[in-house]
Structure 1
């Protein structure tokens, strides 16, 4: 029995090619974004506009984006949302402490406060709902397990075996 791990982002086409070229059975675990499989998705999400290329199911552009790009977009959106909430609450630290030109290694005083604001917030982005709550993880992350099969009629194929939500606990604590 051979066990190999491929820890990179691959497309549906690449998964099918791997399945057909594999000598034995193959199991794939990958993150899924069920929100985007819904054809009724609109190009507007909670006051931010999403490019029509991303939300048009006929276009297919969304399926070609790597997961890291989706998370990068959502991370910027989450950070912008946190800055907005900080400014709205008027509980903001001096902007002088955000000076990036200084050559000092003094940490920014508002860092822990910003982290707490991010953890208490939630957004609906390209990857779906991001909501960290008390555990420090996003409980809305979903995975699917794909398994290869072989039949006399259809040859080698891959099908979904299961779909699961992330169920781990992790807490970010202050030092």
Structure 2
């Protein structure tokens, strides 16, 4: 693997602390690998593709909340449907809304680059919905070129291409 800081080679370097994550069906304990770069000597925690940086919920749960918001649902309705605290859901929605235009542009470029015959999504009700449509559209474009990508959710692809930082303080 390549170091995200300097491009050097990452080598195994033990394990990170255990994390307790919430999936749609319960609690999951995860102890991710840690790797160290031979070039810059920094260590990195290697999170799986279903986990966002600084989030305790699976990407599918957060993605379901984002898709529901794009469809017009409010934070309280989404929180009740997912069984999550309203403040948690509201935080996801605010973070995504704060960078929705960047996300839309990033995933639209990915859609065009990955698609065999790309068709950008039609304009939606707002920037938030456009960003969600771009994420799903990029996933569909990737599936058209690499069918095995269809075995993962659009939100796994979003985590992978954003390096887990889709809702992190800094966008990649």
TM bin, normalised by shorter chain, reads under 0.3
Higher helix proportion: 2
| Structure with the largest fraction of strand | 1
Q: TM-score, normalised by structure 1?
A: 0.27
Specify the structure having the higher radius of gyration (Cα): 1
